[in-house]
Chain A
Amino acid sequence: MTDAPSSHPGWVEQELYGWGRYPRIGSLVARPESQRGLVAAATSAASNGDSSSGLIAHGLGRSYGDVALLRNGRVILTRRLDRMLAFDESTGVLRCEAGVSLEDLLEVFLPRGWFPPVLPGTKFVTVGGAVANDIHGKSHHADGTFCDHVNSIDLLLASGEMVTVSRDQHSELFWATVGGIGLTGIILAVEFALRRVDGPWFETESIRIRDLDHFFEVSAASTGFTHVVSWIDTLAKGKRLGRGTFSRGRHAVGNNQPVGKGLFSKLPLTVPIDLPNLVLNPFTLRVFNEVFYRKQWRAETKGLVHFEPWFFPLDVIGNWNRGYGPRGMIQYQIVVPPDPEHRAIRTVIEGIATSGMGSFLAVLKEFGDNAHGGLSFPMPGVTLALDFPNYGKPLFELLNRMDRVVAEAGGRVYLGKDSRLSKEMFQQMYPGWQEWKAVRDEWDPTGRFQSELGRRLGLVQGPVDKAEEAA
């Protein structure tokens, strides 16, 4: 117990990684307890004469790749900034610090009849991370992204100043921060609207899907549902390509049966240690996909379910990512624009199926029309998310091939899940990147905010790039 005096947020060396546990990168890490502490930490990082090595915010580390990591730089953990600052019971508008998690929101507000505006596939995400990756959920076609419900953002700038940005105040910075992967500044607080609900219950339906065309048919016929998602068997080829299970649902109306607090919040299972790399292998993969598909043995089932296992099936097993072993995993999420013949998505699924490196979890969903530009991922079209054990080179080659298919179709890769996309592919996929960068550079001319992903994609300059430029 001989650490630094309390009120000075100390910097400690720590190895960090995202949910994919690849890559793992050491940096100097601070974990401030308050907004004031965060500002002090950011300032101390700047005045230590190594401001060129950069700074990035890190929420709960639920992005998969290197978007919240920084080699030879400083990382500020925001999770302890978890104060709820003000709530308007009549409108559902909440102002809270950036480290408040969606889990926290559910725990505090669901018993009072309020629900987060958008939920991703896990509740262990901070509000800051939700803004920085402009996250989407099963209800994208109905509700848009998380940021569609955000009124304003308090941002700590590179200059050390704090600004509040919104659709009317510094709107260009607001839009650059939406999906801005932490590179415009550190989000201190966010004001956004919760949604009124009657209770935690969802009316759901589950439909067995024969093939890709069937998926699009059912998807088109699901407009009466606010939430849709489907799981597909990535090993199915030929006529069965795209087979799986389609789930759709909506908040149950009038059913406000209370739920015991914390009923679902305890994790009954966890993977306490890394499983050997071989546990998730082609054989277990085949069994898993087969079982998952057969589970839905009736063509259609309906039910009233608690939202939690339905939204977060994976949260039930804590640290499930450790099941992929020490080498970690790669998640690959793409979206391609609508196409009556579904060529690109078919090519990608086929490419995976024939590679033999099938994915354990494959999620397919059509997005709505809402898109934000900049680096925000969602756009009209169909999105596919895949999990791969980190097979290394052969997998990277496969994904590079898939990148080209996606880019040619006018689609893109989700940066919040990426650890390997090339700069060239990125520039093709995000045509608005230059305008985004121009705004970013204007507010952070010396490049204080950096990340591994930002450096790789040429969005910011790392020390190496800077040295090269000078030479």
Chain B
Amino acid sequence: MSEDVTENATEDQPGRGCAVVLGATSPIAEAFCRRAAEAGYSVFAAARSAEAAAAIAADVSVRSRQSTGSCAFDALDAATIEAVFAQAEQELGRIALVLVAFGDMGDVGGADVGGAGELEAARRVLDVNYTGAALASEAGAGALLRGIGGSQTGDVPTLLGIASVAGDRGRQSNYAYGSAKGGYALYLQGLRNRLFKLGVHVVTVKFGFIDTPMTHGMKTAIPIASPDAAAQALLKAARKGTDVLYFPFFWRFIMFIIRSIPERLFKRLSL
């Protein structure tokens, strides 16, 4: 399939290669699958449930008539992460875009400081959001490097990693998740630096509130963006070669202010 010079071209568009999405059942990731197909990528959807991933891939192909594929993986199992890229390459050819979307907010920060339940929950949150995401990004970078030079549209192969504004400052309510996301953002920063001269771009994504199950029913004065708007922002960032994307954009300022609060004061607050 990789020798196919027309890649996944359709009647009205040149082919852009394959977009691989890990954690496709996230509404943001699913919207990204649809938008990427619309923009000319074939789509490979990976999720914990094979059935759910297949349903998402089927939807994308009905909507866009792009070729699609799917498989199951678990962020806690590195071997399954590597297998995603191998299968995507085999089925759909050159990988041009990777989105690492999975995440687990967990339930850490309750009354039981240091309790057994807390430790187990914290381990899981760190494993999924840091270790899993970092390994997926590393494997994704390898896949993107293998496809370098294959683009007919001149696009730079790009990895998008979803971190969070929660990683910009540790807070009592979600520091396990926040620290994993913060660590992952740092990992992406290093990877971007390493891959720059090799011709692969890395986008660090810091989302504010997006309207997904993670935030459903949350009462907040800050506006919540739709998953589709988030997905469009992701594609735009890939196209423009953005390094760090804050979305919605005003979170850059909110987090600037939150980071500027002196620790002496911050530790007393419950934000």
Binding site for B on A (CB under 8 A): 1-7, 9-10, 12-14, 29, 31, 33-36, 80, 83-87, 94, 108
Return A29 CB to nearest CB of chain B, in Å: 8
**Using Cβ atoms and an 8 Å threshold, which residues of chain B touch A1?**
105, 166, 173-174, 209, 214-215, 218
The answer to the question of B258 belonging to the interface, with a C-beta cut-off of 8 Å to chain A, is no
The answer to the question of B55 belonging to the interface, with a C-beta cut-off of 8 Å to chain A, is yes
The answer to the question of B25 belonging to the interface, with a C-beta cut-off of 8 Å to chain A, is yes
Measured CB to CB, the nearest residue on chain B to A36 is B52
Instruction: Contact check, B58 vs A85: say whether CB atoms are below 8 A apart.
Output: yes
* Known interface pairs A3-B213, A33-B27; 18 further A-B residue pairs with C-beta atoms within 8 A, sorted by A's residue number: A1-B215, A2-B173, A5-B105, A5-B106, A5-B107, A6-B214, A7-B213, A10-B216, A13-B217, A34-B25, A34-B52, A83-B58, A84-B62, A84-B63, A85-B59, A86-B62, A94-B62, A108-B63
By CB atoms of chain A within 10 A, which of B105, B213, B218 has the most? B213
Return B213 CB to nearest CB of chain A, in Å: 5
Instruction: Contact check, A84 vs B59: say whether CB atoms are below 8 A apart.
Output: yes
Instruction: Contact check, B166 vs A83: say whether CB atoms are below 8 A apart.
Output: no
Interface string of B90-111 (1 = CB under 8 A from A): 0000000000000111110100
**Using Cβ atoms and an 8 Å threshold, which residues of chain A touch B214?**
1, 3, 6
Measured CB to CB, the nearest residue on chain A to B64 is A108
CA distance A35 to B59 in the complex (A): 13
The residue that A33 contacts in the complex, of B25, B104, B107, with Cβ under 8 A, is B25
CA distance A80 to B55 in the complex (A): 13
Return B61 CB to nearest CB of chain A, in Å: 9
Q: A31-B216, A80-B27, A84-B59 are in contact. Are A36 and B174 (CB under 8 A)?
A: no
**Using Cβ atoms and an 8 Å threshold, which residues of chain A touch B87?**
none
**Using Cβ atoms and an 8 Å threshold, which residues of chain B touch A2?**
109, 173-174
CA distance A84 to B214 in the complex (A): 24
Of all A-B residue pairs in the complex, the 10 with the closest CB atoms, nearest first, are A12-B217, A83-B59, A84-B62, A87-B62, A2-B173, A84-B59, A108-B63, A6-B213, A83-B55, A31-B216
The answer to the question of B49 belonging to the interface, with a C-beta cut-off of 8 Å to chain A, is yes
CA distance A2 to B177 in the complex (A): 10
Measured CB to CB, the nearest residue on chain B to A111 is B12
Return A256 CB to nearest CB of chain B, in Å: 15
Instruction: Contact check, B49 vs A36: say whether CB atoms are below 8 A apart.
Output: yes
Instruction: Contact check, B104 vs A5: say whether CB atoms are below 8 A apart.
Output: yes
Return B212 CB to nearest CB of chain A, in Å: 8
Instruction: Contact check, A10 vs B59: say whether CB atoms are below 8 A apart.
Output: no
**Using Cβ atoms and an 8 Å threshold, which residues of chain A touch B107?**
5
The answer to the question of B56 belonging to the interface, with a C-beta cut-off of 8 Å to chain A, is yes
The residue that A3 contacts in the complex, of B55, B56, B218, with Cβ under 8 A, is B218
Measured CB to CB, the nearest residue on chain A to B173 is A2
The count of residues in chain B whose C-beta lies closer than 8 Å to any C-beta of chain A is 29
Measured CB to CB, the nearest residue on chain A to B107 is A5
Return B60 CB to nearest CB of chain A, in Å: 9
Interface string of B40-73 (1 = CB under 8 A from A): 0000000001011001101100110000000000
Measured CB to CB, the nearest residue on chain B to A37 is B213
Instruction: Contact check, A9 vs B213: say whether CB atoms are below 8 A apart.
Output: yes
CA distance A77 to B62 in the complex (A): 24
Return B108 CB to nearest CB of chain A, in Å: 10
Return B22 CB to nearest CB of chain A, in Å: 15
CA distance A6 to B107 in the complex (A): 10
**Using Cβ atoms and an 8 Å threshold, which residues of chain A touch B59?**
83-85
Return A80 CB to nearest CB of chain B, in Å: 7
Return B174 CB to nearest CB of chain A, in Å: 6
Return B171 CB to nearest CB of chain A, in Å: 9
CA distance A80 to B213 in the complex (A): 11
Instruction: Contact check, A85 vs B213: say whether CB atoms are below 8 A apart.
Output: no
Measured CB to CB, the nearest residue on chain A to B62 is A84
CA distance A299 to B217 in the complex (A): 53
CA distance A84 to B37 in the complex (A): 14
CA distance A85 to B106 in the complex (A): 31
Identify 5 residue pairs between A and B in the complex whose beta-carbon atoms are under 8 Å apart, listed by A's number. A5-B107, A33-B25, A84-B59, A85-B58, A94-B62
Measured CB to CB, the nearest residue on chain B to A9 is B213
**Using Cβ atoms and an 8 Å threshold, which residues of chain A touch B217?**
3, 10, 12-14, 29
Interface string of B235-248 (1 = CB under 8 A from A): 00000000000000
**Using Cβ atoms and an 8 Å threshold, which residues of chain B touch A83?**
55-56, 58-59
By CB atoms of chain A within 10 A, which of B25, B105, B212, B217 has the most? B217
**Using Cβ atoms and an 8 Å threshold, which residues of chain B touch A7?**
213
**Using Cβ atoms and an 8 Å threshold, which residues of chain A touch B27?**
33, 80
CA distance A12 to B213 in the complex (A): 11
Instruction: Contact check, A12 vs B216: say whether CB atoms are below 8 A apart.
Output: yes
CA distance A12 to B174 in the complex (A): 20
Return B80 CB to nearest CB of chain A, in Å: 17
The residue that A6 contacts in the complex, of B56, B104, B166, B209, with Cβ under 8 A, is B104
Return A127 CB to nearest CB of chain B, in Å: 14
Instruction: Contact check, B213 vs A33: say whether CB atoms are below 8 A apart.
Output: yes
Q: Which chain B residues in 139-179 approach chain A with CB under 8 Å? A: 166, 173-174
**Using Cβ atoms and an 8 Å threshold, which residues of chain B touch A12?**
216-217
CA distance A12 to B219 in the complex (A): 10
**Using Cβ atoms and an 8 Å threshold, which residues of chain B touch A84?**
58-59, 62-63
**Using Cβ atoms and an 8 Å threshold, which residues of chain A touch B26?**
6
